[in-house]
Every structure is written in C-alpha cells, then in structure tokens.
Amino acid sequence: MYEKISAFDNLLFAFKKAKKGKTKRRYVKRFQRNLKENLLKLQEELINQTYQPCKLKTFILQDPKTRKISKSAFRDRVVHHALCNIIVPIFEKSFIYDSHANQIGKGTLKAIERFDKFKRKVSKNNSRKCYVLKADIKHYFQEVDHEKLLDIIKRRLTGEKIIWLIEQILNNYKSEKGMPLGNLTSQFFANVYLNELDQFVKHKLRAKCYIRYVDDFVILHNSKEQLNIWKSEINRFLKEKLELELHPNKSQILKLKKGIKFLGFRIFLSS
C-alpha cells in the first residue's frame, strides 16, 4: 500500500488535486515549472523515508469566528493528497451515513436535508413535540490526541511505512495534541477520530436521528429526558475514550418549534 502512495502516477494525480483552484498562485507555478523533477524528489524522499514536512505557516482568519489556520507548504499538500488518495476509501467504508463533512456527495446541504427528514419523522409531521440535542465539542482540533488517533488508524492500517508517514504529518504540529486547521489530512483525521463517537451513538446508544458535521452534531427525539441521558453518556464517552468534552455553553437540549441554528441555517419545526 505504501508503494501505491509513493507511486509517481499517484503523486502526479495528487499534484493535480492540490493545485485545483490555485493554478495562478506563485507557489503552484514554481512547483509546476520543474514538475517532474519535484515529484521525483518527493517520491525518492518517501521511498527512502527521508521526507520531512516544511514548517507550517500560521495566520489568523476571521470567518466570522477567529480561527488560527496553519498552512502547509505546497509540496506537503501534494503528499497529503497522495496519502488520502489511497487510505480514504479504506476508512470511509466504516463511516456512518450521517457523517456529512469532507466527503464526496456529502456536505452542509445534505446534512440539512437529513435534518428535515428526521424532524418530520420524530414530530410525526409536526403533530407532536420534537427536541434537539445540539452539541459542539470543545476546542476539538486543538485537543485531538495523536496517540489515540494513531491507535484508531492502526486498526485498519498495519504497514509500518504508512504509519511513519502519518506520524511525520502529525508531528509537524509540534505537539502531542491537536491538528492544524486547513490541512486536508486534518479534515480526514477529524472524521476518523470522531467515527468512534458516531459508532457509539448509533450502535451503543441506538440513537436513530443523529447527524454530525465535523465537531457539531445533533440528535432529534421526542423525549427531553432521553436526550439528557444521552448527553451525559456522550460526554462520559468523549472524556474516557477520546480525551474530549462537550462545550458546556454550546451543548443544549432545545425545542425545535423555537428554531435551531445548525450549519448556518435556522431550522423550525414547520419549515
């Protein structure tokens, strides 16, 4: 599998994906000027395991929340795509249907469509009360534990060289916890890490109307008491298994008829 990651054709495909929408950027033009040479150098570094990511460039973005973005060098983004080209299909097979972030065919609109379907199901077409556990995981990208993430990854990937490459990417953050916002690999690893929560909610708690988008999730139910129980069990699971916790101010049980803000939309019972 590692040979597939470091194959020239895969690196070329990764370059094409990494430059998408950025063809006029100077760093893309610079890399493309000696494309074959640059890809062969990357391939050699990967094969010989001498590859080391460049230092991340950090800046602050307001969108509207203030976020710290850590940007990888373009050559590293090519490596991220090369890795994800091969390993993403392996992991996505285990993802639940209602994990909606950073996957082809998913997204915010698909998540909102599912919310609409669930609210009609739970409320029996607006004929009974519907409550929503709307939750947010506190400082998610800053708190992902690298060791726990690697343990999860190793359940599906056993090759030492692949694990070495993933460690190079994670360790570039210069901390045992956290992942840089803005990296393709961070988006993917975020889904891998919280797939543990998805499996717990769907198969242990047996919550049917559950939707997650990165670190935001909702559960719809007609019993406020049941949602309170699940909220406590989810928080316990996050703390014990993933060293995370629900955001105390952003995790609430609300009446849908008053309106719920989810993924930039305001959703009402009768909408």
Segment 21-58, tens digit of pLDDT: 898 999 999 999 999 999 999 999 999 999 999 998 88
Give the model confidence (pLDDT) of 99-157 as tens digits. Answer: 999 888 888 899 999 999 999 899 888 888 889 999 999 989 889 999 999 999 999 99
Residues near 148 by beta carbon (within 8 Å), at least 6 away in sequence: 193, 241, 242, 243
Which of 18, 153, 150, 116 shows the shortest CA–CA distance to 74? 18
Tokens 């190079």: give the residue. 168
Q: Residue range 215-231: average pLDDT?
A: 95
Residue type, 76: D
Residue (of 163, 187, 150) closest to 1 by Cα position: 163
Evaluate whether 70 touches 55 at the Cβ level (below 8 Å): no
State yes or no: pLDDT of 66 exceeds 80. no
pTM score, whole prediction: 0.90
Strand partners of residue 218:
134, 211
| pLDDT above 90: residue 63 | no
Buried b (16+ CB within 10 A) or exposed e, 86-114: bbbeebeeebbebbbbbeeebeeeebbeb
CA–CA dist 223, 76 (Å, integer): 48
Q: Looking at residue 137, what DSSP letter applies?
A: B
d(CA 150, CA 193): 9
Q: Give CA–CA dist 40/69, Å, rounded.
A: 29
Sequence-ordered list of residues with C-beta below 8 angstroms from that of 236, at least 6 positions apart, any chain:
none
Q: CB-based contacts of 218: which residues, under 8 Å, 6+ apart? A: 115, 132, 133, 134, 135, 210, 211, 260, 262
What would the mean pLDDT of 145-174 be, rounded to a whole number? Answer: 93
Token readout for 13 is 């495909």
Provide the 8-state DSSP code for 97.
T
